[in-house]
Structure 1
Amino acid sequence: MSVASLVPLPVVVPLLGAALTLLLANRPWLQRTVSMTCLAGTLAVAVVLLVQAYRYGPVVVQVGGWPAPVGIVLVADQLAALMLVVSSAVTLCVLLYSIGQGQGETGESAPVTIYHPTYLVLTAGVTNAFLAGDLFNLFVSFEILLGASFVLITLGGTAARIRTGSTYVVVNILSSLVFLTAVGLVYAATGTLNLAQLAQRLDALPGGVRLSLQLVLLLAFAIKAAVFPLSAWLPDSYPTAPAPVTAVFAGLLTKVGVYAIIRTQTLLFPDGQVNGLLMVVAGLTMVIGILGAVAQSDMKRLLSFTLVSHIGYMIFGVALSTVAGLSGAIFYVVHHITIQTTLFLVAGLVEQRAGSTDLRRLGGLARIAPLLGILFFVPAMNLAGIPPFSGFLGKLGLLQAGVVAGGPLPGALVAAGTVTSLLTLYVATRVWNIAFWRAPRLATAEPVVRLPALMVGATVALVVLGLALTVAAGPLFDITAAAASDLRERGPYVRAVLPGEPG
């Protein structure tokens, strides 16, 4: 079996698993086994693809044997393969957490016949987005995500979840309409949707037409990535969902939008015409997002605002449009997927233990549940960028790239990034002091609720993964730098998809 034949598996395996778990509706333990096996297999394939892409270049498969640009192309270059590895690891851990919680089996959850198939479909949508080699396939990926995420965000059918789910769907349908409009305009202007071929044809368009296409695509992806001022929907949508659903949404779904921005800005529009606009947006996203977090009294809403804020760091790296900036952005995406997911899982554990995530009702958790205190403290300090954690290393790489770039806007972004990091530390310390350090309050004074071992174990695994990013920061930066270099050059991607083309 050639390595190229592995490329479709991260999409195909979860879809087949979804069908199988739906057939196993009356056997929950078999559903769980199938789901775990599918995600573990996807992670193994993703690791193989990353090694192959790092050593030998992009791995390409022409679906159905139809050559590009006519057929559907799946491309696993270093960026896509790295995203596959981290997303597969995170979705596997969140699945284990949800199984420990009994998600989809009792209480306010939807039946298990819905949860497991939908979760696997969501995973397939994420992996297909990373591998998509043309704009229409990327659009299909977003629609798969939208359908599955609406089911997951409304699990249980409570009034609050239906209300926030409706807002989520309306916003994402709007972004999908913008994206579909962009797809039609791109095809009308170039006669193709294949990304490699677009990299060649867009350069020949008049400057005004090319800029218009770029802005429409950016608008669609910015909504999905929750970039300010298009981020108001997120803090209201995520906190009401079940803890594992919120965690995977926070960790992954916005990063699919960021990935689309990175891919299109580097491959299709490398001239940097909108870099100034992106820098302004990145700065506003960082500062306004973290100021929103400062004002919150609920842990989930607070984390939702920090999620928005730290998207700004990634957009900052893209806006610099240098190898160092892109490398820092990719590193920060990997870091943030892991750490933000971990913190939302910890919030779920706090809710499980205390019955609430309202800081006004919490206190004394560090004494009552010491392990829970550690599980919050480590990723919270990582998110805040305390040395020597990966959050510090990622921010340092981005700020150094901004200093090297020079100029008023990069300088302002360096200042904004520093202020945002300090305010993130303030927010994390505030949560620690109120929920974990002060005397027990109403919720935590209630009788002890034993936390399921699988929920704790999955959270511990993600905390360890976050620490591993710190230990392996050197090799990881090597991968992100190589991926950024390929993105800037464009040639390796184009030649892999269209052999014989100059790139």
Structure 2
Amino acid sequence: MAASGPAAVDLSAALVMQPTGLADWVIVMPVALCIGLGAVLMMIRHRTRLHAPITIMGLCILVALDAVLLWRVASQGPFTMVMGRWLPPFGIAFTADLTGTVLALAGAIAALACAIYAARDCEDRERRYGFYPFMMLLMAGVTGAFLTGDIFNLYVWFEVLLISSFGLIVLGSTREQIDGALKYAVLNLLGTTLFLITVGYLYAIFGTLNMADIARKATALGPTAPLMTLASLFTLAFAMKAAAFPVNFWLPASYHTPKIVVSALFGGLLTKVGVYALLRVMVMLFPVQREELSFVIAVSAALTMILGAMGALAQNDLRRMLGYIVISGIGSIMAGVAIGTQAALSGAIFYALNSIVLMTALYLAIGHAARLGGAWTLSGLRGLYAGAPWFSAMVLVLFFAGAGLPPFSGFWPKAMLTKSAIDIGAWWLAASILISGFIITIALGRAFLLCFWKPAAPEMSRPARAPLASASGRPPSMMPVAALTLLIVVAGLFPEPLMKISQSAAQTLGDPSAYIRSVFPQGALR
């Protein structure tokens, strides 16, 4: 008797049977672009004159791709692409929602400004050592972290951006840079190690790493699983990444040591990836545990804001002052996480968007001021307004925005967060937001008065100072600073579009049903 043929296998239970639509590939194209350009730049590492134009062109394309991705998510809702045609939760998922895509777009804009600035700021030696390849790989890590739908791959993208940042922070190999890189590396490696251990613990409990799958299982497992322990470990790990109190001391010890364009990248982007991860995990995956930890997060937020502002007031070095302002801003975002209402979360997202653009612009502007004045300190810079009035006016706008004063973009998220704190009766947290803003106003006002407004001493009574050198012998172009300043002014005068996007993003975080349906369209809420 003839043997029967092999039984038919139903692949539809494990694989996506339809080919992926061309429009869905846009979700992975930003990451693929950054990795591909990083590889190309490595292959032409001896032709350093091509690095700047290739990178600038690539980042322009990245901005366009992120804008298309944001438009699609805003018009059609979250969507998912799974690698290797495996159905989730087996395949690695990229899931785009408003929170991730709008932060990815803001990060791409900041990186483009840094690349244009660096075209005349980076020396040929630094280009040969890999400034632009490291920059593109850093953007691959940042973009991947914002778009991934898998919590283990969130860790992977953290590692990609961390390794790239190690390469950027030691460019120049000065004693100060090596010291800053060591402090930066030790604390960040501790944070990523804690993150990895927690991810392993999470997998042992849930049996999955897909964020949408975790979100729909967390409620059912709540009474029987140690979710509070998981949430506490994730909070600590992401607080270390974001430089929140009491694990924030690594940032002011390291961010002032590399080239100013590297500091601008770090100050604008890296800490925001940490607070994004905190928003994604604590608000979307563990909302009950976030509520239980809200007081602890609020206390950490208040201390981060106040101590960051006081640290900024105590600095003589402008770069260290900006590092403390970055820390204080992280506290404001964490306050939104602690409050947890939709209004507070929208304020936190708005603040993160503003901080990405603002801190990048501030670092680049301070770098240009140092080029003009030949020093980095409040005691060394004088009379910049007399020699560069238009540039000084731009810096004043940036300082107003950094202090959260109207009518610039920094005012609106602080107002949203303060009102949200008052609405739930957390007067002390609202007071912390206002007090930290007041102290930062004093710190930035003092910096402007001493460095820009105060007349320079007569040449006969002070030693001559040559402008700091740049790659071309001239100060870098102010076009990126002017463009970022214009964005800040427009966002301050017309905040409604960003408010609407932030509110919609906060709603998706608080109610992840649409996010889950994009991953599991046939059974999202089972």
Question: 1:425 and 1:181 mapped to 2: Cα distance?
Answer: 40
SS of equivalent residue, structure 2 residue 356: helix
**TM-aligned CA distance change 1:402 to 1:128, over 3 Å:** same
Match of 2:502 among 464, 480, 487: 480
Q: 1:375 to 1:445 in 2, by over 3 A?
A: farther
Residue 177 and residue 402 in structure 1: after superposition, are their counterparts in 2 closer, same or farther (change >3 A)? Answer: same
State how far apart, in whole Å, the 1-side matches of 2:155 and 2:523 are: 26
Structure 2 Cα separation of the partners of residues 501 and 201 of structure 1: 13
Equivalent positions of 1:264-279 (< 5 A) are 264-271=281-288, 272-279=291-298
Match of 2:372 among 341, 350, 353: 353
Name 1:238's counterpart in structure 2.
255
Superposed, 1:158-169 pairs within 5 Å as 158-169=174-185
Is the Cα contact below 8 Å between 1:100 and 1:454 reproduced in 2?
A: yes
Equivalent of 1:190, from 200, 206, 221?
A: 206
Residues in 1 aligned to 2:466 and 2:476: alpha-carbon distance in whole angstroms: 21
Distance change >3 Å, CA 265–CA 362, structure 1 → 2: same
* Secondary structure of the structure 1 residue equivalent to 2:81: strand
Residue by residue over 1:394-444, the C-alpha shift from the partner in whole angstroms, topping out at 9 and shown as x without a partner, is 1111111111222xxx21110111111111111110001111111215889
1:13 paired with 2:28, answer no
Q: Which residue, out of 319, 325, 328, partners 2:338?
A: 319
Structure having the higher Rg? 2
Question: Counterparts of 1:404-483 in structure 2 under 5 Å?
Answer: 404-406=423-425, 410-441=426-457, 446=465, 452=474, 454-483=476-505
Distance 2:167 2:278 in 1: 26
Q: Distance in 2 between matches of 1:78 and 1:33?
A: 30
1:254 and 2:275 correspond: no
Shift of 1:372: 2.7
Distance 2:231 2:189 in 1: 20
- Please state how far the C-alpha of 1:283 moved relative to its aligned partner: 0.6
In the TM superposition, what are the counterparts of 1:380-391 in structure 2 within 5 Å?
Answer: 380-391=399-410
For 2:422, the equivalent position in structure 1 comes to: 403
SS at match of 1:241: coil
Q: CA RMSD in A?
A: 1.7
Task: Tell me how far apart the structure 2 counterparts of residues 465 and 339 of structure 1 sit (CA, whole Å).
Answer: 9
For 1:467 and 1:219, the matched residues in 2 are separated by: 35
**Aligned partners of 2:464, 2:437: CA distance in 1, in Å?**
33
Does structure 2 retain, via aligned residues, the 8 Å contact 1:314–1:330?
A: yes
Cα deviation digits, residues 51-72 of structure 1 (max 9, x gap) = 1111110121112212211111
Name the structure 1 match of 2:280: 263
Where do 4+ consecutive residues of structure 1 move more than 3 Å?
205-208, 441-454
**Which position in structure 2 is the counterpart of 1:135?**
151
Residue 61 of structure 1 aligns to a residue in which SS? strand
Give the structure 2 partner of residue 58 of structure 1: 78
Identical amino acids, percent of aligned pairs: 34
**Which of 334, 346, 355 lines up with 1:336 in the alignment?**
355
Evaluate the alpha carbon distance shift between residue 448 and residue 247 of structure 1 in structure 2; reply closer, same or farther with a 3 A threshold: closer
Taking the aligned partners of 1:205 and 1:393, their CA distance within structure 2 comes to 36
In structure 2, distance between residues paired with 1:35 and 1:113: 15
Give me the whole-angstrom Cα distance separating, in 2, the residues matched to 1:323 and 1:198.
21
Deviation readout 1:164-190 (Å, 9 max, x if unpaired):
101111111100110010011000111
The one-letter amino acid of 1:344's match is Y
| Structure-1 residue corresponding to 2:233 | 216
The one-letter code sitting in structure 1 at the alignment partner of 2:50 is: L
Q: Is the Cα–Cα contact under 8 Å of residues 252 and 337 in structure 1 kept in the other structure? A: yes
Please state if 1:97 is matched with 2:129. no
Aligned to 2:3: none
Cα distance in structure 2, aligned partners of 1:379 and 1:353: 18
Output the CA distance in 2 between the equivalents of 1:256 and 1:277: 21
| CA offset digits 1:141-172 (Å, max 9, x no partner) | 11001110011001011111011101111111
- Is the contact made by 1:258 and 1:315 (CA closer than 8 Å) also made in structure 2? yes
Amino acid at match of 1:290: A
Equivalent position SS for 1:360: coil
Any unmatched runs of 5+ in structure 2?
Answer: 1-20
Asked whether the equivalents of residues 362 and 444 of structure 1 are also in contact (C-alpha less than 8 Å), the reply is: no
After the TM superposition, which residues 61-210 of structure 1 pair with which residues of structure 2 at under 5 Å, given as runs? 61-101=81-121, 103-106=122-125, 110-112=126-128, 114-203=130-219, 204-206=221-223, 209-210=226-227
Partner of 1:489: 511
Secondary structure at the aligned position of 1:492 is classed as helix
Q: Deviations over 1:325-360 (max 9, x none)?
A: 000000000011111111111111122122211111
- What is the identity, as a one-letter code, of the residue corresponding to 1:122? L
- Alignment partners' CA distance in 1, 2:400 and 2:411: 9
Query: What letter corresponds to residue 431 of structure 2 in structure 1?
Result: A
Q: TM-score, normalised by structure 2?
A: 0.91
Residues 41, 51 of structure 2: 8 Å contact kept? yes
Distance 1:75 1:285 in 2: 31
Residues 298-339 of structure 1, C-alpha deviations (whole Å, 9 max, x = no match): 111111111101111100111111110000000000011111
SS at match of 1:4: helix
Cα distance in 1 for residues equivalent to 2:437 and 2:184: 28
2:11 match: none
